[in-house]
Amino acid sequence: MAQTAPTTTDWSGRATRTLDTLLERRPAAADDEQRDHEDDALRRFVVAAVAMDEVWTEGARQVEELEQQAERIRDDVRDRTAVLETEQARAIVDLLRIRSAEELAALLGSSVEQVRELERDAQGTLSVPQPRDSLPA
């Protein structure tokens, strides 16, 4: 299941903890004004770093969701294509029962060899068990 991005409170807490750690590590500043500027810069640095981490985490979650959606779409396209290939194969077989390969080639504007290839493909398609949601004959 996809995880939701942490709330502002979650990452503000992380930023505060990180900032506190950095402030404890630093050497004493020369004066109060320098210390204030350093505090401000460290605060902005930490907030930006934590926010970037959250942005990357959210981006990765979105990419994963899109990849899953893409796989579902590919599966759907494969299933629908299989159904349509079966219908096309049935139509070719039916047409070849009505017309000769030569007549069908002329009707379709193709060569007799292409019609024979369609016929072979149709026989192969129809000899393979079809999905249950196939179109009726």
Check pLDDT > 80 for residue 131.
no
Q: Judge whether 43 lies within some domain.
A: yes
The domain containing residue 47 runs over which residues?
A: 8-127
Backbone φ and ψ for 100, nearest 5 degrees, come out as -75, 165
Torsion of CA 109, 94, 132, 83, to 10 degrees: 0
Question: Mean pLDDT in the chain?
Answer: 83
61 or 133: which leads in pLDDT: 61
For residues 90-98, give the mean pLDDT. 95
Comparing 62 with 132, which gets the higher pLDDT?
62
Domain assignment present for residue 1? The answer is no
Q: Is the pLDDT of residue 75 over 90?
A: yes
In a domain, 82, yes or no: yes
Q: Is residue 57 part of a domain?
A: yes
Cα 130 from chain centroid (whole Å): 27
pLDDT at 28: 67
Which residues contact residue 133 at a Cβ distance below 8 angstroms, ignoring those fewer than 6 apart?
Answer: 79, 83
Q: Which residue has the higher pLDDT, 36 or 75?
A: 75
Is 136 contained in some domain?
no
The predicted-structure confidence for 97-112, as pLDDT tens digits, reads as follows 999 999 999 999 999 9
Most confident range, picked from 5-14, 31-40, 58-67: 58-67
In single-letter form, the type of residue at position 71 comes to E
**Is 116 inside a domain boundary?**
yes
- Banded model confidence at residue 36, pLDDT cuts 50, 70, 90: confident
**Taking the CA of residue 99 as centre, how many other CA atoms within 13 Å lie in the half-sphere pointing to its CB?**
15
134 is a domain residue: no
- Number of structural domains the chain divides into: 1
Whether 17 maps to a domain, the answer reads: yes
26/21 Cα distance (integer angstroms): 9
In this predicted model, which residue has the larger pLDDT, 27 or 84?
Answer: 84
Give the whole-angstrom CA distance, residue 113 versus residue 135.
Answer: 27
